[in-house]
Amino acid sequence: MDWDDLRIFLAVVRGESLSAAGKQLKIDPATVGRRIVRLEDSVAARLFVKSPQGYGLTEAGARLVPHAEAVEAALRGVGETASGPAGLTGLIRIGAPDGCANYLLPQVLARICDANPGLEVQLVALPRVFNLSKREADMAIGVSRPEAGRLTVQKLTDYRLHLAASRSYLAAHAPIQTRADLSGHRLVGYIPDMIFDKELDYLAELGFATPPLASNSVSVQLNFLRAGAGLGVVHDFALPSAPDLVRVLPDDISLTRAFWLIRHADDARVARLNRFAEALVREARAEMVRLEGGSTQGIA
């Protein structure tokens, strides 16, 4: 069995079409199709079923995926061994929820890249779960620990959240001294049907109603608050970037969550990714301490 055929097979699996695979591999889709046929002939089984939605795996194709990914990881490992243990090089793509991507990771990744001039990092900030099986990213950060899939998971860091508002909003509205005082104030939060993880349903956990101002983006929510639109739950690590915001009832309303570093199981053999993950965990924890240490403000 030819590795190049397996490489093309994996590209079709992840792209779900010949054209997407061809674009990724920079070869003609017709060539992709011929190579898939050749691979199917070599294993004496049909690997894909074509439908209006694209190319879906047959049972035989699904059984081949972990073996092809194992070969892919082994070849990556050979390349890492040959290049030696010098500084990190090459391209690594990370997927992360937008709050983490906007307010925690930029300075963390900048430090890692400063220490490894040959390293390229792409940070994909999206409010959803990333599919590592389709290689949307080399690793992802999640707000809850996945319970299924061929994945390795480790805690990146804990973080805290509090209710916050701008000083201008608080000055213009009725004072807030207890939870009961919140009833007359406007809330900002997530669009309920776009909450992609139960860990993000902060307002429901705190017993609040659906917010009249909502977004699927943490950054948009933060900008609502900065504009004096109301009160919302904010990551403590984001507060240093918004000095006009202050925490409200911090002793009474407080949440703790964790970010999880999620990787494909086969990548545990890739030394370069292991070393990058170690640096990411170390720097993220140090940065969280720095940021949360600077976000202790209460009501002005």
* pLDDT 10s digits, 268-278: 888 899 999 99
Please give the mean pLDDT across all residues of the chain: 89
List, for residues 7-56, the tens digit of each pLDDT value. 898 889 888 899 999 998 989 989 999 999 999 998 999 999 988 888 99
CB 113 within 8 A of CB 119: yes
Cα distance between residue 282 and residue 58, in whole Å: 41
Looking at residue 274, its pLDDT comes to: 92
- Structural domains in the chain plus CATH codes: 3-83 (1.10.10.10), 90-157+258-293 (3.40.190.10), 159-255 (3.40.190.10)
58 φ, ψ to 5°?
A: -80, 175
Beta strands in the chain (DSSP E): 48-51, 54-57, 90-96, 119-125, 139-142, 151-166, 187-189, 213-214, 231-235, 245-247, 254-264
Neighbours of 13 (CB within 10 A): 23
Q: Is the pLDDT of residue 87 over 80?
A: no
Looking at residue 161, its pLDDT comes to: 96
Looking at residue 83, its pLDDT comes to: 47
What's the mean pLDDT in 138-166? 92
Looking at residue 300, its pLDDT comes to: 41
- Sequence-distant (6+) residues with CB within 8 A of 108 are 280, 283, 284, 287
Confidence label for 239 from pLDDT (cuts 50, 70 and 90): very high
Q: Is the pLDDT of residue 94 over 90?
A: yes
Q: Contacts from 17-23 at CB under 8 Å and sequence distance 24+?
A: 17/54, 17/55, 18/55
Altogether, the residues listed in the chain come to a count of: 300
Cα distance between residue 147 and residue 129, in whole Å: 13
176 closest CA partner among 236, 243, 244, 253: 253
What's the mean pLDDT in 95-110? 95
Q: What is the largest CA-CA distance in the chain?
A: 74
pTM of the predicted structure, to 2 decimals: 0.71
Which whole-number Å values give the CA distances from 207 to 180, 192, 193, 202, 299, in the listed order? 12, 14, 17, 9, 22
